[in-house]
């Protein structure tokens, strides 16, 4: 089984939640691997920090290139970062890496880049990638002012694209967010998918701690029905 982890924006906790999901499934004895198809922003070794975290949280040993087939230097929109690097994101390369990882594991957690509608090349975006991978999406909602609009607009895109939403996660970004619980309750009323957990604000993120705040029982039930 695989899941595409997307977010209401960039910097909302997709990597934290993706790694937490890897730890949660690994605790059930599953062979797990993280997959970051596209990353914008890399270090001197041409590695991306998000992809490195996913690799560290995986129990399946895979090469960096398998886990992150596209990594571009500039931390800007991926299609622009690719263009600046003289490249273009080709889905066939992504699918080849995904198939390799899926063949070695029980669970593949695919982490998107930016928000769900971010362009990946001149014609395709993350919505297209998720549809072609044909896997359910998990939405990470960055809990801060403006999250309701961002979350509900993203859910509308998911529904219109006829992509299954396996659940959503509330990622608390503002330790002092006013009416936090009321915002979460509002989203629970309007999102027709299970709330998988609320990740409290962390001054220093820890995916293993975050995993303790997730309830993946609905995902386990979903997989049992497949």
Catalytic residues: 36
Q: Is the dihedral of CA 76, 129, 140, 15 positive or negative?
A: negative
Task: Take residue 69 and report the two structure tokens written for it.
Answer: 């087939």
Q: How far is CA 179 from the centre of its chain?
A: 26
Nearest by Cα to 127 from 88, 153, 100 = 153
Confirm if 186 and 177 have CB atoms less than 8 A apart: no
Number of neighbours of residue 33 by Cβ within 10 angstroms: 26
H or E element in which residue 87 lies: none
- CB burial class (10 A; 0-12, 13-18, 19+) of residue 195? middle
């Amino acid at each position: 089984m695989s899941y595409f982890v997307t977010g209401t924006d960039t910097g909302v906790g997709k990597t934290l939640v993706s790694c937490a999901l890897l730890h949660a499934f690994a605790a059930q004895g599953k062979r797990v691997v993280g997959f970051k198809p596209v990353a914008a922003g890399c270090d001197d070794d041409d590695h991306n920090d998000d992809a490195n975290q996913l690799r560290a949280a995986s129990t399946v040993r895979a090469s960096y290139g398998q886990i992150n087939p596209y990594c571009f230097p500039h931390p800007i929109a991926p299609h622009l970062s690719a263009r600046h690097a003289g490249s273009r994101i080709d889905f066939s390369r992504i699918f080849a890496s995904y198939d390799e990882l899926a063949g070695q594991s029980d669970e593949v957690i695919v982490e998107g880049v930016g928000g769900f509608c971010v362009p990946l090349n001149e014609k395709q975006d993350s919505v297209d990638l998720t549809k072609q991978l044909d896997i359910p999406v998990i939405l990470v909602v960055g809990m801060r002012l403006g999250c309701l609009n961002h979350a509900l607009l993203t859910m509308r895109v998911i529904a219109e694209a006829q992509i299954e939403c396996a659940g959503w996660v509330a990622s608390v970004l503002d330790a002092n967010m006013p009416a936090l619980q009321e915002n979460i309750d509002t989203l629970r009323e309007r999102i027709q998918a299970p709330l998988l957990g609320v990740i409290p604000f962390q001054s220093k993120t820890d995916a293993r701690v975050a995993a303790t705040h997730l309830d993946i029982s609905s995902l386990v039930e979903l997989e049992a029905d497949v």
